[in-house]
Amino acid sequence: LNYHVVIVGAGPGGCVLARELAREGIPVTIYEKGSFSQLGHDWSDLVEIEPLAAAGFEIPELEGNRWVGTLVKKETEDEGLFEPHAIPRLKLYSPDYQAVKEIKTGMITTDRRKLGQELVEQARQAGAQIYYHREGMQLLYREKGNSLEDLEVYGVTVKDGEKGECREVHADLVVESSGYYSILRKSLPAHLDLARHFPNSEFAMVHREVRLRDREKAKNDPLPDHYRYGYHSGYQWSHVHTPGKIDIGAGVRYAFNQPDPRDIIEEYISRHPSIMAYRVRGGRSPCIVGKPLDNFVAPGFLVLGDAASTSIPTTGCGTGSALMAGLWASRVIAEAAREGRNDLGKLWDFNRKFYRDGSRGAHLAALSAVRPMLQSLNHDSLNHLYRIGLLEGGELEKSINGEFMAPPLLQKLPSIFRGLSRPYLLRTMGRVLSLAGQIYRHYSRYPAEWEAGSFSQWKTEAEKLFSRVYD
């Protein structure tokens, strides 16, 4: 096939896309600014099981609270993709620990370094070309007018990190999967939604530590896997990976008036003598939790994963969305390549798959409206909501697993009104959840095909709905 796809960024989204295109015999090149050994995170993440299975990974069997299978790490060694401990049911604690709910999770704790390296290896073996220390700098494009369809992306400038030289790489299609900095799409004309800068308010700051655990002291210091959801506008968790190893994490809204998540972790550790000082793995970074882009494509260009802000806004888990986006994009691009097309009408199928067919996008858009409201709740309000049962049942479970579910919560509101001394809080919650429901329905009606007028109308309505969230 005389159709060349260039992918910038070797994260899960870019790699799964490259692997699938290469398997279809489509020439594909990945440029990654880091090195093979730096791919992913230096810790294990909770990743959605369904997208991992869709991407071809053998999901282990659950035996009690342990995963069993060929890809599971053994207790004594660190090889393997998945951590052995399983959390089919996760304990959610209120910030003051006085209330606890159990929810089902559709997640498996996945070693992000191993996942990154495995996916890039699969892409390479399928025939994709991969270059490390190559940084995508800006898109090469022409403009015939002001509209999205008047744009034509024909390549990208790539900097060789070793030699310090830049060169133009031409392609039929450039895919940006470079994570939340998403430098390429921001080089497009500013009036296009594709060039939107993600504000600080759409980020969380996350800190993770994997520490050794003293097994003797652990006998008198039991630590359940838990998630203190809503703590300091984010979360604080601990997961016991193996009897001798514990993962502790915290995330907060990315804002000057929030505590440092590292301090939250230190405070937790100070209360648990079994957690040792030695840090096995870990790190910290901002994490995107905002609203997904309203459009992911332009002629000759497609953006996916964190670069398009598609993580679950209420948790920051974005690996599943990146994998699904890579798979959906591969089908659209493979067909486009066979037809020798890279126009907007053809690439629009990716938007349709994301927002309409799979409904993942509609859920994420709705949750992105709920997230700022949840983050605005102080500990006192959250403790109360947990205690009176407002955060009980399906809706919280759905939200953590990436799905929006409004009605049951809304139906509960009148009875809760009686139990709460702050009706203003509940009125705000009711208003935001009702808007989120409207957003969900609006995104489920995303234009199935590209047509400038109908997209512009749809977008105006979407903006109107979101502007009311922040009223």
Ligand X SMILES: Cc1cc2nc3c(=O)[nH]c(=O)nc-3n(C[C@H](O)[C@H](O)[C@H](O)COP(=O)(O)OP(=O)(O)OC[C@H]3O[C@@H](n4cnc5c(N)ncnc54)[C@H](O)[C@@H]3O)c2cc1C
By C-alpha distance, which of 271, 209, 221, 219 is closest to 245? 209
Question: Is 318 an interacting residue with respect to ligand X (CB under 6 A)?
Answer: yes
Distance between CA atoms of residues 364 and 320, nearest Å: 12
Residues contacting ligand X: total by CB under 6 A: 35
Closer of 71 and 435 to ligand X (Cβ): 71
Q: Which of residues 25-44 bind ligand X (CB under 6 A)?
A: 31-34, 39
Contact 173, 6 (CB under 8 A): yes
Give the Cα separation of 262 and 284 in Å (integer).
9
Pick between residue 157 and residue 359 the one whose CB is nearest to ligand X: 157
Residues between 179 and 218 with contacts to ligand X, criterion CB under 6 A: 179, 181, 183, 206
Find all residues with CB under 8 Å of 464, minimum gap 6, and list them: none
Per CB under 6 A, 47 contacts ligand X? yes
Closer residue to ligand X, CB minimum distance, 169 or 433: 169
Which letter, b or e, does each residue of 192-222 get, where b requires 16 or more Cβ atoms within 10 Å of its Cβ? ebbbbebeeebbbbbbbbbbebeeeebeeee
Binding mask 252-291 for ligand X (x = CB under 6 A): ---------------------------------x-x----
Nearest alpha carbon to residue 323 among 20, 7, 6: 20
Q: Which of 60, 282, 300, 316 binds ligand X (CB under 6 A)?
A: 316
Minimal distance, residue 149 CB to ligand X, in Å: 26
Name which of 275 and 322 has its Cβ closer to ligand X.
322
Q: Which x/- pattern over 114-143 shows residues binding ligand X (rule: CB under 6 A)?
A: ---------------------xx-------
| Alpha-carbon span 383 to 46, nearest angstrom | 25
Minimum Å gap between C-beta 390 and ligand X is: 26
- CA–CA gap between residue 451 and residue 443 (Å, rounded): 16
Binding-site member from 24, 45, 83, 202 for ligand X (CB under 6 A): 45
Query: Taking CB under 6 A as the rule, which mask of x and - marks residues 322-341 in contact with ligand X?
Result: x-------------------
Q: Is 11 in the site for ligand X (CB under 6 A)?
A: yes
The residue among 95 and 402 lying less far from ligand X, judged by its C-beta, is 402
Least distance from ligand X to the Cβ atom of residue 49, Å: 11
430 binds ligand X (CB under 6 A): no
Of 309 and 383, the one with the shorter C-beta distance to ligand X is: 309
Listed as own residue / partner, the contacts of 218-225 with beta carbons closer than 8 Å and 24 or more positions apart are: 218/243, 218/274, 220/274, 221/272, 221/273, 221/274, 223/272, 223/274, 224/91, 225/85, 225/87, 225/90, 225/91
Q: Return the half-sphere exposure (C-beta side, CA atoms, 13 A cut-off) of residue 67.
A: 26
What residues numbered 152-181 form the site for ligand X, per CB under 6 A? Answer: 177-179, 181
Is position 306 an interface residue for ligand X (rule: CB under 6 A)? yes
Determine contact, residues 168/153, Cβ cutoff 8 Å.
Answer: no
Give a three-class secondary structure readout of 277-311.
EEEEEEEEEEEECCCCCCCCEECCEEECHHHHCCC
Q: Is 351 in the site for ligand X (CB under 6 A)?
A: no
Q: Of 307, 333, 332, nearest to 322 (Cα)?
A: 307
Please identify which residue in 300, 305, 361, 372 interacts with ligand X, judged by CB under 6 A.
305
Under rule CB under 6 A, residue 92 binds ligand X: no
Given the rule CB under 6 A, which residues bind ligand X?
8-14, 31-34, 39, 45-47, 135-136, 177-179, 181, 183, 206, 285, 287, 305-307, 311, 316-320, 322
